[in-house]
Amino acid sequence: MVFSFPIKTRYVETAQDGIIHHSSYVIYYETARIEFLKHKGFDINEMEKQSILSPVVSLDAHYLKPLRSLEQIKVQVSVHSCSRVRFQILHEIYKGEEKMAFAITTHCFINAAFRPISIPAELLQSFRKDVELKKDMP
């Protein structure tokens, strides 16, 4: 399943050269990923109330073409891979049909004591289904 989330870039996110600063892309990825999880029935605020946290373990970002302020973009989010305790999310930023950037983030779940815990069973099942569907795509 590919989840698409629209975002409008903001002037405040630009560097002196008039393009969106690289750090803003991470905010776009995070925003879209949180909405993706919510779409799957896992609201980040509700999980945190239960002391279930999902930090970013790593981020591998690639900038293909610059974004400028006040552009309408979409961030497409999909599960790249998953195990019982870790998962990777592929984020792709598009302006129209043109891919502008992409990143893969790795996450885990931890409890309030910052100890690793398994991915909630229902979410893991959904992630695995997404990965299988992705394998079947041309």
Q: pLDDT 10s per residue in the chain (138 long)?
A: 789 999 999 999 998 888 999 999 999 999 999 999 999 999 999 999 999 999 999 999 999 999 999 999 999 999 999 998 899 999 999 999 999 999 999 999 999 999 999 998 898 898 988 888 766 655
Euclidean distance between CA atoms 1 and 101, whole angstroms: 19
Predicted confidence at residue 131, as pLDDT, reads 85
Predicted confidence at residue 132, as pLDDT, reads 82
CB 18 within 8 A of CB 71: no
CB 15 within 8 A of CB 77: no
Record the tokens describing residue 76, joined without a space.
Answer: 């497409």
Going by C-beta distance under 8 Å and a sequence separation of 6 or more, which residues neighbour residue 108?
A: 54, 55, 57, 85, 86, 87, 116
Predicted confidence at residue 129, as pLDDT, reads 87
pTM, to two decimals: 0.90
DSSP 36-79: HHHHTT--HHHHHHTT-B--EEEEEEEE-S--BTT-EEEEEEEE
Predicted confidence at residue 20, as pLDDT, reads 97
Predicted confidence at residue 138, as pLDDT, reads 56
Predicted confidence at residue 136, as pLDDT, reads 61
Predicted confidence at residue 62, as pLDDT, reads 98
CATH topology of domain 3-136: Thiol Ester Dehydrase; Chain A (3.10.129)
Euclidean distance between CA atoms 75 and 32, whole angstroms: 6
Please list the residues that pair with 58 across neighbouring strands: 106
Q: Where are the domains of the chain?
A: 3-136
Going by C-alpha positions, the residue among 36, 27, 22, 17 that lies closest to residue 87 is: 36
Going by C-alpha positions, the residue among 125, 104, 133 that lies closest to residue 42 is: 125
Euclidean distance between CA atoms 7 and 127, whole angstroms: 24
Predicted confidence at residue 1, as pLDDT, reads 77
